[in-house]
Amino acid sequence: MGTVAVVWLLLALPAVSGQKFATVPPQESLFGVVSQAVSPIFAPLGFGNWQATGALVPGFIAKEVVVGTLGQIYLGEQAAAPAPLGLVAGITQTLGAAWDAVKASVSALPTVLALPSLSADASADTQTPLAAALARAFTPASGLAYLVFVLLYTPCIATVGAMAQEHGRRVAWVTVAYQLATAWIVGLIVYQIASRVL
């Protein structure tokens, strides 16, 4: 949660002087500009856009942060500043959102348990906003390459720290470089095969 908050802060910081905090478009933020500089490295893997590349960086903290970062990047513009609510309206909105979350969690149980869907309508119309944004941003081949890369690159900073403590910093850095190279090469192979098959 804290990492996603840091990503939000970096998305709100302008990269160029003259822009105001939290009013800058995401691609012109500090996070966006740095991500754009690094993104060409991942173009051969099919996900050379700054959003996908930028989400990999916080993944060094913990891989589950990649999804939260993608949500922050892709949905950040859609989440305009909410209008101020009164106490009753705020409580009503909070309870409604909690009820919607409970319903969504219960309806997802068959999928989690690998059971067939029990809902009457399991169409694409029921996609979450993030799923719809990711479907527009990734092809099946690039999405598969992205998933493979995320699974194979460095597990987290805590693991690297433990490796450095047990085996020395040099071994830790060589391991990080090896894991990044492996993830990039396997992601490239997956993308090349999947783009021909899918």
The predicted model scores a pTM of 0.74
Tell me what the mean pLDDT of segment 176-187 comes to.
97
User: Looking at this protein, which amino acid is placed at residue 198?
Assistant: L
* Rounded distance between C-alpha atoms, residue 146 and residue 151, angstroms: 9
| Total Cβ atoms within 10 A of residue 104 | 11
Q: Give the SS3 label for residue 95.
A: helix
Please provide the average confidence, as pLDDT, over all residues in the chain. 83
User: Looking at this protein, which amino acid is placed at residue 197?
Assistant: V
**What is the pLDDT at residue 169?**
96
Residues 6+ apart with CB under 8 A from 111: 117
| Total Cβ atoms within 10 A of residue 187 | 26
Give the closest residue to 130 by CA, choosing from 15, 46, 4.
4
Return the structure tokens found at 82: 């909410």
**29 pairs with which residues across the strands?**
14
**What is the pLDDT at residue 187?**
97
Asked whether the beta carbons of 195 and 141 are under 8 A apart, the reply is: yes
What does the pLDDT look like over 3-61, one tens digit per residue? 778 888 888 888 888 888 878 888 889 999 999 999 999 999 999 999 999 999 999 88
Query: 15-19, 101-105, 184-188: which has the minimum mean pLDDT?
Result: 101-105
Asked whether the beta carbons of 141 and 176 are under 8 A apart, the reply is: no
